[in-house]
Amino acid sequence: MRKRIALLLVAALMMVMMAIASGIAVAAPITCSGNQVATKVAGGWDCINNGGNPTGSERTKNPNDRK
């Protein structure tokens, strides 16, 4: 019985760690203004408006990058 509980705890811990890692891996390195959404595109990241068009208003989260 203790082995089963230990295995369940290990499995739960692994699932939590995978969820955290996947959230970090997909975070956009840009911020978008208004109701625009940061979307991964072939050349990097773009801000996309409600019509599905790129707006070019993205700002990088890197304080050393002046865009």
Measured between alpha carbons, how far is 12 from 6 in angstroms, rounded to an integer? Answer: 10
**Rounded mean pLDDT of 20-45?**
77
Residue 4, pLDDT > 90, answer yes
Residue 26, pLDDT > 60, answer no
47, 32 contact by CB (below 8 A): yes
Measured between alpha carbons, how far is 57 from 28 in angstroms, rounded to an integer? Answer: 14
- pLDDT for res 7: 93
- pLDDT for res 39: 87
pTM: 0.50
